[in-house]
Structure 1
Amino acid sequence: MSEVTSALLAGAIVLALVLHLAWLARASRNKAAAALAAEQANIRTVIADAADVSDGTAGVITWEGSWNGRRVQVRTIIDTLATRKLPARWLSVSITEKVAVPATFDMMMRPGSPTTFSNFDHLDHTLPKSSALPAEAVVRTDRKGVRFPQEIIADHLGIFGEGRAKELLITPNGVRIVWLLAEAERARYGVFRQAEFGDATLDPALIEELLESASTLRDAINRNERQAV
Structure 2
Amino acid sequence: MSEVTSALLAGAIVLALVLHFAWLARRSRDKASAALAADEASIRAVVADAANVSDGTAGVITWEGSWNGQRVQLRTIVDTLATRKLPARWLSVSITEKVAVSAIFDMMMRPGSPTTFSNFDHLDHTLPKAPGFPAEAVLRTDRRGTRFPQGIIAGHLETFADGRAKELLITPNGVRIVWLLAEAERGRYGVFRQAAFGDMRIDATLIERLLVSLSKLRDAINQSERQVA
Normalising by structure 2, report the TM-score.
0.98
| Residue 160 of structure 1, CA deviation | 0.6
TM-superposed deviation, 1:62: 0.5
CA distance in 2, matches of 1:31, 1:197: 12
- Mapped to 2, the partners of 1:160 and 1:37 lie a distance apart of 28
CA root-mean-square deviation:
0.8
Partner residue, 1:181: 181
Q: Distance between the aligned counterparts of 1:151 and 1:143, measured in 2?
A: 19
Whole-Å separation in 2 of the counterparts to 1:199 and 1:169: 29
Could you tell me which runs of 5 or more consecutive residues in structure 1 were left unpaired when the two chains were aligned.
none
Residues of 1 paired with 2:97 and 2:17: CA distance?
Answer: 53
User: After the TM superposition, which of the residue ranges 157-166 and 186-195 deviates more from structure 2?
Assistant: 186-195
Task: Report how many residues are paired.
Answer: 229
Report matched runs for 1:69-218 at 5 Å: 69-218=69-218
Give the superposition deviation at 1:181. 0.6
Superposition map of 1:32-43 within 5 A = 32-43=32-43
SS at match of 2:208: helix
Distance 1:65 1:26 in 2: 31
Correspondence 1:65 to 2:68: no
Give, in whole Å, the separation in 2 of the partners of 1:183 and 1:36.
18
State the Cα distance separating 1:16 from its structure 2 match.
Answer: 1.1
Matched, 1:18 2:18: yes
1:154-207 per-position Cα deviation (integer Å, ceiling 9, x unaligned): 000011111111000000000000011111111111112111112211100000
**2:176 is paired with a residue of what secondary structure?**
strand
- Residue 228 of structure 2 corresponds to 228
Deviation at 1:131, TM superposition (A): 2.4
Distance in 1 (CA, whole Å) between partners of 2:159 and 2:30 is 35
Give the residue type in structure 1 aligned to 2:42: N
Unaligned runs of 5+ in 2: none
SS in 2 for 1:45: helix
Q: Secondary structure at the match of 2:46?
A: coil
| Aligned counterparts of 2:39 and 2:211: Cα–Cα separation in 1 | 17
Per the normalisation by structure 1, the TM-score is: 0.98
Equivalent residue letter for 1:6: S
Deviating runs (4+, > 3 A) in structure 1? none
Q: Matches of 1:15 and 1:177 in 2, distance apart?
A: 49
Distance 1:198 1:162 in 2: 22
Contact kept, 8 Å, 2:95 with 2:211, in 1: the verdict is yes
Q: Percent identity?
A: 81
Distance (Å, rounded) in 1 between the aligned partners of 2:151 and 2:108: 17
Distance 2:53 2:108 in 1: 26
Q: Take 1:10 and 1:200, find their aligned partners in 2: how far apart are those partners?
A: 40
Residue of structure 2 equivalent to 1:48: 48
